[in-house]
Structure 1
């Protein structure tokens, strides 16, 4: 192993506050060094997060999107995509199925679709909280601060808003009409409103460097995110990046491992995108620092149309099949399924009342 890698690894074993130079060195690990890096990340995960894997059932309730991001198959100008919207009753039924199967969290995800007003979403969230005793994570893209506040008041626990890249120029190039500054502002709003905050980045974007990836980790560390979704960029033929090279599993795993070392307190998913580019992607991620899996609870008839990227794992599965596929990955990784909600320690201390119960939200 390289001398500088060994030195950075030694420092990583003693402190999470690694300087940028050490993060870059670790991200540049060769094949042999990567094995040691993954082992350390797995040890850090066990120390801080335990052996359990949190299951968060994801419901992709709309593929309409007002944005025109160059990397995403849901982009506004993709005329080749069959669009759909789920009704409130369908969304709640999906959450009920997630609870029946054993998920303690449901993730409500969509494109940026203004059809669903904050009031409509708040009603759905309140019913899920009241009827199913699930934690609720939102992944809705850019909303107003007032919308985020109303959804939090209705009972939403977490909100995922990925920054995708810390390179401000690249961000604006890939997301026309938006800015990295605006996204960071929204992440700070979420913190102010009491959400558990999630962000994340893609690995392998055109123009991205190892230095950029180090910057992504530093940004998330500075924001103290409770969750970081790190997955490979997969080019979609129906986007302007159709002919770009995709991200690799190896670089994705290295980024995940370094993120675990730098943010030992964060929830890190074993992403569906990693599983979609390699048959063992989920298991490898669970052995490289990940502690969350998101089985797909979207009704089968909608899945092929939620085509952010091609070749997505499980588009022909039922929710039960997706859940069982995730269970097998956990078993293959030698892990167990967590029975808790997976709230962050910071959130538990701040928002659990003196009797240890949770605010179920207010009906809007």
Structure 2
């Protein structure tokens, strides 16, 4: 398979060189055609997905939810492609230009990263969304999804590649690695000669495995141990719907809230209310000693709970004495993904945003908004929790780098 991977890398590199020369209108036409083709191929894709679902009966419900496709989700995938087509092409941007003391005209131009490899788990929508963003930004993509979604991913990629063939564009701009073994994933992580960057999407275990073992540069996307902090000046009626939405709307995703921190001044009044509301939504609540003293039938939280991303209808709750303690708890135990404070005190909200070391920090809003589509990016490659190059939801701009284009008139350096 090593030789096959090298060939995939070579084809991707060749395709990336061709993509860099495409006009924005060519890319947009292809994306819109891909969207139409996905919708026309709905039955074929759903049939493949049903085969995957039939073999995934042992998976936890949260993973099956990510794996499942239906008519609505395929329509959403198609709409993502159309939205990306409407966005500004980042490779047409000139960040700045100037003339230096020697009369050289210097332009800082946006260009594609080149070849991007994406290793991800059972999320078929990533296949189309990542393909759209990489294609629009002029990058070739090598997709390596999980074995659970292999048939769905293959059906989806075949549809997208066929559109490129029909338009006379490089089909190898989008390639799928069909061998889902760990050995092949490791080889892909070491394909430095052909892959410019690798982006992992999925569980914390997957992400850390890629970060620790890849020799190709990695953009670390984040597991989501996300927090909501109810401040002493919170509007408690506003707080409950935010918390329920953040935890319950889709608990299996990385921007779902996993922890709830409540200021001691409102804990006795508010904890019975919010815990009742969470339980009515089927959420298992685990609490620290102070929570258990107020609501005595709450399961005690363990030390491990504070570092756990559940991806499930489970939430750990803690009483804190101050904003300082809330920030300390989040920075120590969070994954630097998304956090929210509920408060009517504007100064305290701004302080929370400045001090919390996460990619996205909200005041009076659900963490579920951390999403490339919600931010207006059309789709997202992932949500970066590191600080180098890109942070937060990664859209088109984050899939480019810079080149300096310099024009002179015979100048030599003295």
With structure 2 as the length reference, what TM-score do the two structures score?
Answer: 0.30
Higher RCO (C-alpha under 8 Å, 6+ residues apart): 1
Q: Which has the higher strand share?
A: 2
Larger gyration radius, structure 1 or structure 2: 2
With structure 1 as the length reference, what TM-score do the two structures score?
Answer: 0.33
